[in-house]
């Protein structure tokens, strides 16, 4: 009986330590995603009539390095049943992250890029998350602290000549094994 308890304790401890993975140290740029590891609760505000208004909408994001320690995956889930995921890895030739977004329920797949500029992670999504929208999306992740980051979501109707803030997301860390 004691051996079984020790096995379950050790197994759950080992799994908990791997839950969100780690960046392969042979590619230093992979650590750019370290801030995103763990489970994050989101408070979302939407621009309405020139003011940011908090939405009554609960969501969370889980970010983790996969077993190769070079691939990073995020999963976005919401209480209304919405789910999307993306996988990304650092392209050492292009010096930016390449990401593939998937929302299978809405039949949307799209590729986009992410790169670190100064201390912010900038994501450029041409054609919106379906790749077919009449607008482009840019997100800017700003690290506030080790358990808080802010994502600013912008939209452009003129191929990136100008950007309008559409959402502000405050993400608070719930878990980060």
Type and span of the H or E element at 2: helix 2-18
> What is the average pLDDT across 107-125?
92
Query: Whole-angstrom Cα distance, residue 123 to residue 41?
Result: 20
Q: How confident is the model at residue 5 (pLDDT cuts 50, 70, 90)?
A: very low
Residue 144 tokens read as 């506030």
Domains located in the chain, CATH noted: 20-175 (2.40.128.20)
CB atoms under 10 Å from CB of 17, counted, come to 11
pLDDT per residue over 35-76, tens digit each?
Answer: 999 999 999 999 999 999 999 988 999 999 999 999 999 999
Q: How confident is the model at residue 139 (pLDDT cuts 50, 70, 90)?
A: very high
Which is more confidently placed, 102 or 140? Answer: 140
Statement: residue 106 has pLDDT above 90: no
Q: Residue 130 has what pLDDT?
A: 84
pLDDT per residue over 10-20, tens digit each?
Answer: 433 344 444 89
Q: How confident is the model at residue 176 (pLDDT cuts 50, 70, 90)?
A: low
Statement: residue 177 has pLDDT above 70: no
85-119: buried (b, 16+ CB within 10 Å) or exposed (e) per residue? Answer: ebebbbeeeeebbebebbbeeeebebebbbbbeee
Query: Whole-angstrom Cα distance, residue 177 to residue 175?
Result: 6
Statement: residue 3 has pLDDT above 80: no
């Amino acid at each position: 009986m004691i051996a079984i308890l020790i096995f379950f304790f050790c197994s759950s401890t080992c799994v908990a330590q791997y839950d969100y993975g780690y960046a392969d140290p042979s590619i230093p740029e992979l650590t750019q995603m370290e801030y995103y590891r763990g489970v994050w609760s989101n408070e979302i505000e939407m621009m309405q009539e020139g003011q940011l208004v908090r939405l009554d909408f609960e969501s969370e994001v889980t970010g983790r390095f996969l077993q190769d320690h070079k691939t990073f995956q995020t999963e976005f889930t919401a209480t209304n049943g919405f789910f999307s995921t993306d996988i990304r890895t650092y392209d050492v030739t292009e010096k930016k992250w390449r990401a593939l977004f998937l929302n299978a329920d809405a039949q949307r797949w799209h590729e986009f890029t992410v790169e670190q500029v100064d201390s912010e992670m900038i994501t450029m999504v041409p054609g919106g998350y379906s790749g077919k929208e009449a607008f482009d999306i840019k997100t800017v992740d700003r690290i506030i602290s080790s358990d808080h980051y802010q994502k600013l979501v912008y939209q452009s109707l003129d191929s990136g000549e100008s950007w309008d803030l559409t959402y502000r997301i405050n993400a608070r860390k719930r878990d980060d094994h």
